[in-house]
Amino acid sequence: MSCAAAWSPPSSAIGCNPGRRGGRRRTCCSSSSAVRPRAAAAAAGQQGEGGSAGEAPRLVLHDSLDAAGVATAHARAAREGFAAQVGRLTRVNAGTSIAISRGADLARAALCVAAEDDSLVSHSSVPLPVDAFIARLDDLSTGFCAGGNFPPSRAPPEVFFDYLDRYLYVHKGFRRTNGVSDVRAMYLHSVLTCRSGSALMLALIYSEILKTVRIYGLLDFDAEIFFPTDINSLPRGYDKQKSKLGDEPHIMTSKSLLVEILKTLKATFWPFQFNQSSSLFLNAVAANHHGPGTLGDNQTRSHGNISAIEMAAAKAAQHRLMRGVWTNVRFGDMRRALAACERLILLQHDPHELRDYAALLYHCGYYEECLHYLSSYQTAMAGQSLSNRLEILEDEAVDTLRARVTLILAEDGWSSRRPAASYWTKNSEPW
């Protein structure tokens, strides 16, 4: 059994978790006499086996923002919507191809991710209209089944997918862009609006169309989606009966799709990206030498591969971001990086997410929680062998960070001080 399958997120971390549980919140849904395919599929999924709820781990982002006076009602509601979909991911459903997409509503989960991140950076009084974008996606899916877009009856799979590819990539004009160069390509609502997105988002939309066709009973063969691993190709469907052994790595499952979306967001918004050849965690630990939550001038001397021009541009970009002027996120975004880490922990994907989350908590001044997550990570990884030099360096960095946090917590009177809320006050509002 892999370590990813053996661990579960911490359930008794420091402090209480005010997260609310319950039904999904409807944000802007207009009633209609016709039952949408998605509604029928959701009803069927709720009658089946649900994921295990369990006790939620202690996640600090929303609480810390509340303590700093930042409104989090919309962000919390979006997180609840995401957690509700994660709760529907059983072990079987999580490993099912997105071409089948059972259990969780992947589109709603992706839109809840977008809604939370939008709330974290915009502080709008109006939440992102998740249901409105769900309706737009339904209209896109049903549009393929109407008019002259759908292939003739009993057409072979090759003809069916030719029609579908032409509908999505030619008639509707969806195209692929790099999510690293344009973060909007990683948010489903932006992709539906601009018709330009990452391979992950295009694969998700492709799967939603297949789901609608299947619900209408118009799919009489086993369809699969080929997920491209290069930087240019588009997701395309094929007949599963004609699949080859080499196609296995190109099949995206429900859980792996959500994981890849969140890992891409985490990497994009990671606040410490000065060494592209290193890991995100090692970059965060290296930045510890300049103190929690700081990126001082000494960083240039410690990392000589950064030119003075790059450092000046990075500082200017950070200043604009802190004042709410959108720019290229050279130094990342701590809020959205923390949010991505927390959602990955909810997915129970990989214990390394506990370690990465702890590194960010250190920079925010949450030392008790940081130590807790480091301990949980080391417990989950106990007995695992290190296979390469990078893993050895990361393991040493975990020990170094844990020793550093232990010394900080050992200081007299530390527990009576509350420096964590000051992080958002110091680096605060993105407007």
* DSSP letters spanning 203-253: HHHHHHHHHHHHHTT---S-EEEE---SSS---EEEEGGG--GGGGGGPPB
pLDDT category of residue 41 using cuts at 50, 70 and 90: low
Mean confidence (pLDDT) of the chain: 80
In this structure, the answer to whether residues 276 and 175 fall within a common structural domain is no
Per mean pLDDT, which of 292-296, 404-408, 417-421 is the most reliable? 404-408
Confidence (pLDDT) at 19? 39
Task: Name the helix (H) or strand (E) containing 175.
Answer: strand 175-176
Separation of alpha carbons 229 and 249, rounded Å: 9
Say how far apart CA 114 and CA 186 lie, in whole Å.
9
Which has more pLDDT, 248 or 401?
401
Q: If you compute the radius of gyration of the chain from its CA atoms, what whole number of angstroms results?
A: 23
Q: Is 70 exceeded by the pLDDT of residue 430?
A: no
Distance CA 328, CA 420 (A): 27
Q: Could you tell me if 281 and 240 lie in one domain? A: no
Q: Are residues 204 and 347 in the same domain?
A: no
- In the prediction, which pLDDT does 153 show? 87
The reply to whether 110 falls in a domain is yes
What number of H helices and E strands is found in the chain? Answer: 19, 4
Among 218-222, 242-246, 366-370, whose mean pLDDT is lowest? 242-246
Cα-Cα-Cα-Cα dihedral sign, residues 426, 182, 272, 66? positive
- Classify residue 1: in a domain, yes or no: no
Residue 195 belongs to a domain: yes
Over range 249-278, report the average pLDDT: 89
Range of 160's domain? 20-55+61-263
Percent of all residues in the chain with a pLDDT value above 70, rounded to a whole number: 70
Domain end, chosen from 233, 263, 293, is at: 263
Pairing of strands 175-176, 196-197: parallel
Q: Which residue has the tokens 């609502």?
A: 189
Token readout for 238 is 């094929």
Contact status, residue 113 vs residue 262, Cβ threshold 8 Å: yes
- Helix, strand or coil, per DSSP, at residue 97: strand
pLDDT of 292 > 70? The answer is no
Same domain, 247 and 348: no
- The answer to the question of residue 8 being in a domain is no
Of the residues 240, 263, 286, the one at which a domain ends: 263
Residue 170: inside a domain: yes
Task: For residue 199, count other CB atoms closer than 10 A to its CB.
Answer: 23
Distances (CA, A) of 53 to 47, 84, 274: 16, 9, 38
Rounded Cα distance, 293 and 289, in Å: 11
**Whether residue 372 is found in the same domain as residue 422:** yes
pLDDT of residue 387: 83
Its sign, for the CA torsion 267, 272, 274, 275, is negative
CB 225 within 8 A of CB 252: yes
Mapping DSSP to helix (H, G, I), strand (E, B) and coil, where does residue 196 land? Answer: strand
Is 300 inside a domain boundary?
Answer: yes
Contact 364, 420 (CB under 8 A): yes
Average pLDDT over every residue of 69-98: 94
171 part of a folded domain? yes
- Residue 56 is which amino acid? A
Phi, psi at 176, each rounded to 5°: -100, 140
Give how many domains the chain has, as a whole number: 2
Give the global pTM: 0.81
Residues 138 and 222 placed together within one structural domain of the fold: yes
Pairwise CA distance, residues 255 & 91, whole Å: 9
Give 139 or 325, the one with higher predicted confidence. Answer: 139
Contact 168, 196 (CB under 8 A): no
Same domain, 358 and 246: no
Examine the domain organization and report whether 288 and 367 are in the same domain: yes
Question: Is there a single domain that holds both residue 312 and residue 258?
Answer: no
The residue ranking higher by pLDDT, 191 or 317, is 191
Closest by CA to 225, choosing from 194, 256, 248, is 248
Distance (Å) of CA 131 to CA 37, 126, 200:
14, 13, 21
pLDDT of residue 99: 93
Taking residues 287-300, report their average pLDDT.
49
Does the pLDDT at position 36 exceed 60?
A: no
Q: Are 329 and 251 contained in the same domain? A: no
Task: Specify whether 159 is located in the same domain as 248.
Answer: yes
**Among candidate residues 209, 242, 263, the one where a domain is terminated:** 263
365 Cβ contact list (under 8 Å, min separation 6) = 292, 293, 419, 420, 422, 423
- Cβ atoms of residues 206 and 178 within 8 Å: no
Distance CA 136, CA 208 (A): 12
Question: Are 98 and 185 in a shared domain?
Answer: yes
Average pLDDT over residues 138-153: 92
Integer Cα distance of 298 and 307 in angstroms: 13
Residue 9 lies in a domain: no
pLDDT confidence of residue 332: 81
Distances (CA, A) of 372 to 97, 286, 368, 422: 35, 20, 6, 21
- β-pairing, 236-239 with 223-226? antiparallel
